[in-house]
Structure 1
């Protein structure tokens, strides 16, 4: 549901914004979340401010997309060359994003972080621009948009953001270092308990190899 001028964003909404709207014939853009191999994440909330200054609270929440191959065969250090958009949903009713706030639990550590991601105008220009792309799946050329916003969440509070499309290579648009939420998970409302335990595969990897801080 859309709400206006949430106190969470009050100090940031005063920043001047671009007024160029999304093309009227465009479908909603997608917001998704992922994490490096084994570095499991639970998104408490992701709130969006669009370029019309509307606030979409809980535009995203839940488990981020992550791989946890058996026998420690994953590669958690660094990011994939062409990361996908992750687990999420379409942001129906929103214009192009200006700001994304995300608060998440890094289950691998464990630790709770929050970050404000300012989306540059250059990124919105990319989202507006159609491109011809070859889809290997069906062997056809199509006109596609980079309207998938993929947010990568890594231990240490590191955030990276990419724009992608179903048949287009992802383009990095932002990197942010989040801050620790001192109240802990769920802003202190869950007696310090995290949303989920680590999967056996992730727990085994981290116990053996640790967390590759500094690689993201």
Structure 2
């Protein structure tokens, strides 16, 4: 019921033209939306939709496999999040201003289960994404002006979604952690008759068989 009211409110905002930030262009061409999953906990993203500060909706801003590592012979560890998450697998959100909201619906293939979640990007985080920051870039050994124009979201079993903003030479800054809801209709809102997009790779399946899923560690 909460979700229905939220969608109705969002629709009303879009139709009413209640917008903010119309005259604030980005200091860069586009920002990046990326996704990753803990080691072995493979994820298929059905859709990631973005609402920017002008209330414009960018559907299917990202879909497909999230970035993941699957070291052979169970040499990896799936518990917790990395201290410095990378960009993840994703795309530039071209034409959008900074995000106000990200909706993601994904298949947690290790369980398997389908979840969705709403990740709100607060005003302080939006300000951080457009704030120029002087930093030393190890990649080229120079001091540069960088921006946190990468929004990276980690997706884990149990419906956990955690987000960071970072720049090419700026350390990640945590944005939010939310617990999504189970999509009771299943994969692709029931259109696939319960069939998931893929099966776990052999390395991931071997890890899950040996150690299970570390719920509560994310």
Is 1:48–1:56's contact at 8 Å kept on the other side of the alignment? yes
SS in 2 for 1:29: strand
Q: Offset at 1:12?
A: 3.2
Q: What residue ranges of structure 1 are gaps of 5+ in the alignment?
A: 1-6
Query: 4+ runs of 1 displaced by more than 6 Å?
Result: none
SS in 1 for 2:94: coil
Alpha-carbon RMSD across the aligned residues, in angstroms, is: 1.8
Match of 1:80 among 68, 79, 82: 82
Name whichever of 108-117 and 131-140 sits farther off: 131-140
Q: Offset at 1:147?
A: 0.6
TM-score (norm. length: structure 2): 0.91
Question: Per residue, is there more helix in 1 or in 2?
Answer: 2
| Matches of 2:151 and 2:11, distance apart in 1 | 21
| Matches of 2:168 and 2:7, distance apart in 1 | 31
TM-score (norm. length: structure 1): 0.92
| Matches of 1:165 and 1:74, distance apart in 2 | 26
Is 1:13–1:53's contact at 8 Å kept on the other side of the alignment? no
| Matches of 1:21 and 1:85, distance apart in 2 | 28
Q: How many residues matched?
A: 210
Name the structure 2 match of 1:202.
204
SS in 1 for 2:188: helix
Encode CA deviations 1:70-113: one digit per residue, 9 max, x unaligned. 11111210100011120000000111101110000000100000
Q: Offset at 1:137?
A: 2.2
Name the structure 2 match of 1:105.
107
Q: Does 1:12 align with 2:10?
A: yes
Name whichever of 133-142 and 201-210 sits farther off: 133-142
